[in-house]
Amino acid sequence: MSEVTRRGFLNNLAVGAATAATVAPAVYFAGPRPANAAIKVKGTVPDKPFKTGHITFLTGPANLLGEPGRKGHLLAAEEINAEGGFLGKRKIETIIADEAAGTDANVKELRRMKLSEKIDLFTGVISSGNTPALGPVAEELGVLTMFNDGCTDFLFDKAVPKPKYVFRVTNIQSADGITSAVGAAKAWPNAKRVASIQPDYSYGRNVHEHFMLAYQKLVPGSTSVSEAWPKLGTTDFTAHITKIISDQPDILICGVWGGDYVAFYKQALRYGLFEKMKVATTLAFGGQPHAIGKDHPEGVLAGVHANYFFLHPAKGRWPINDSFVQRYYKRWNEYPSFESDGAYTSLYLLKAAIEKANQLVGGWPDDEAIITMLEGMGIDAPSGYTYIRADNHQGYKDTVIGMTKNVPAYDFPVWDPKSIVTIPIRDITAPPNWPKPGQGHNESTAAANWLKTTWLT
């Protein structure tokens, strides 16, 4: 993007529901296959269970993200098991633990799962405060790991800079902040006084930095006028809300998520915050869709962690998502979130890698063969085409964001179809093998260095 101008970049973005084109499915897609489409397995495959450890938030305000992830994982496992399991023989068994126990307890539980339960796969994890601690332990234990979230850049920039066993499916966190910045700049190009409210840990710090780096390039003259850093799990946002209003920003970027966001927006309504400034978020629509009430204001830029919203692409334009939403709703009596998509897609990515490896080596492939297949693999998922880069084991997909709107068909706000912005992931992420922190620069992330030195210059 070194020769792309700010104006040209914004003008070339796809906007609206009609921008998502129907694409012929690839050989591998996330979803059940008819019996006549099953692969012919080579060699002998043992019929012992395939044991998976899954850590996610089962309790607390973060459960609004953890529960959809659990349900997406279980739906995929049930579908795969209905086909006999991986390679028609190895049915998935899942051990689930509560991420709310804390980082130290999560590390101990991962060790227990591998050493005592003998898990074949570790998956799940929501918080960006946990993946940098769990990633190195997974590498040490040699356990194949597919994080569904915990999307901090720090995982592969610093904690596990040369991953072997660890992969992640959802978009990288820097893309989250940049997506909100792009959506905000396109919607409100004259909003120059920026306030920020972020959870006070790695996710919030990352959102604030990358949003501001991108927004200040997209909206020349914009500046930060207010910062608020509530602790994760905060229930009373009053002091933060009144301070933000008193600083008179044009726009607020909000990275508060889960039950914390529900508490924030309901309290902000009482103070008229949404009438006093534009509001952009990274995760307003990150939890279970029904968790947000119809009292939520319209015209808020509602982020989905730059990943997925169940009504996009529009019905009929991406059959893989249409059928996923139907099956998920039938199974759980609710609509899926981006966490549902991430957990669901993770197991189907693994299934595809196992099948490809079997065709090459026969029998049950070892982890080395599965890892080789995962590196560079792509799959058609409910959220669209998702691929794993070989250089950093990170998943990538084009990002999306849209404005809140109330419609009669749903008991909660959804995206206004005309407002949806789709951004090619290659345009907002550092290219393969970009120098990491400490490799010629001291920025917090590779993405931050790329934004400062190359993006839109």
Give the pLDDT mean for 250-275.
Answer: 97
pLDDT tier, 270 (very low <50, low <70, confident <90, very high otherwise): very high
- Other beta carbons within 10 angstroms of residue 250's beta carbon come to 17
User: What does the pLDDT read at residue 260?
Assistant: 96
Identify whether 313 is preceded by a cis peptide bond (ω within 30 of 0): yes
φ, ψ dihedrals at 122, nearest 5°: -115, 135
Least confident residue range of 123-127, 154-158, 453-457: 453-457
Q: What is the mean pLDDT of residues 161-166?
A: 98
Q: What percent of the chain has pLDDT over 90?
A: 92
pLDDT at 12: 72
Considering only CA atoms, which of 204, 153, 158, 148 is closest in space to residue 175?
153
Confidence at residue 22, expressed as pLDDT on a 0 to 100 scale: 40
Output the pLDDT for position 67.
97
User: What is the widest separation between alpha-carbon atoms in the chain?
Assistant: 69
Spatial contact of 378 and 390, defined as CB atoms under 8 Å apart: no
Q: Which tens digits make up the pLDDT trace of 186-239?
A: 999 999 999 999 999 999 999 999 999 999 999 999 999 999 999 999 999 999
Over residues 366-416, the pLDDT tens digits come to 999 999 999 999 999 999 999 999 999 999 999 999 999 999 999 999 999
Residue 27's pLDDT band (boundaries 50, 70, 90)? low
User: What's the DSSP call for residue 87?
Assistant: T
- Cα distances (Å, whole numbers) of residue 58 to 13, 186, 209, 328, 401: 38, 37, 30, 19, 27
User: In the prediction, which pLDDT does 10 show?
Assistant: 75
Closest CA to 283 of 177, 134, 405: 177
State the average pLDDT over residues 22-48: 81
CA-angle at 182, arms to 413 and 215, nearest 5°:
120
Give tens-digit pLDDT for 314-326: 999 999 999 999 9
Task: Report helix angle 259-270 to 63-82, nearest 10.
Answer: 140
Bridge-based pairing state of the strands 421-423 and 14-15: antiparallel
* Eight-class DSSP state of 156: I
What pLDDT score was predicted for residue 7?
66
Structure tokens at 295: 């009292």
pLDDT band at 28 (very low <50, low <70, confident <90, very high): confident
Residue 251 amino acid letter = I
CA 281, 305, 150 angle in degrees (round to 5)? Answer: 125
pTM of the model: 0.94
What pLDDT, on the 0 to 100 scale, is given for residue 13? Answer: 75
Domains of the chain: 14-172+315-396 (3.40.50.2300), 174-314+399-453 (3.40.50.2300)
Task: Give the mean model confidence (pLDDT) for residues 31-52.
Answer: 92
Do the strands 166-168 and 92-98 form a parallel or antiparallel pair, or are they unpaired?
Answer: unpaired
SS3 410: coil
Q: Distance (Å, rounded) from C-alpha 44 to C-alpha 53?
A: 25
Give me the DSSP letters along 308-367. --TT-SPTTS-HHHHHHHHHHHHHHSS---HHHHHHHHHHHHHHHHHHHHHHHH-SSPPH
271-316 pLDDT tens trace:
999 999 999 999 999 999 999 999 999 999 999 999 999 999 999 9
Residues 228-256 have a mean pLDDT of 97
Q: Taking 80 as the threshold, does the pLDDT of residue 1 lie above it?
A: no
Q: Which of helix, strand or coil describes residue 34?
A: coil
Could you tell me the pLDDT band of residue 34, with boundaries at 50, 70 and 90?
confident
**394 secondary structure, DSSP code:** B
